[in-house]
Amino acid sequence: MDQLQDEQGSTTAEFAMVTLAAVAFAGLLISILSSGDVRGMLMGLITKALSL
């Protein structure tokens, strides 16, 4: 029973770390995709794929 009490907050801490990592990754992805060069490259790829 003592082992369960020692790990009581570990699930919450793990959830917080995963959530923080997901938010950081989303922010990085948004900043990359909002740049003009990347947007132009993606639009070119989409246009080329749809024109096949």
**What is the residue-wise DSSP string for 29-45?**
HHHHHTSHHHHHHHHHH
- pLDDT for position 7: 64
What is d(CA 35, CA 27) in angstroms, rounded to the nearest whole number? Answer: 13
- 39 CB contacts (<8 Å, ≥6 apart)? 33
The predicted pLDDT at position 25 comes to 94
Report pLDDT for 35: 82
Q: State pLDDT tens for residues 1-52.
A: 445 566 666 778 889 999 999 999 999 888 888 888 888 888 899 999 998 6
Predicted local confidence at residue 8, as pLDDT? 65
CA 5 to chain centre: 32
For the chain, state the CA radius of gyration.
Answer: 21
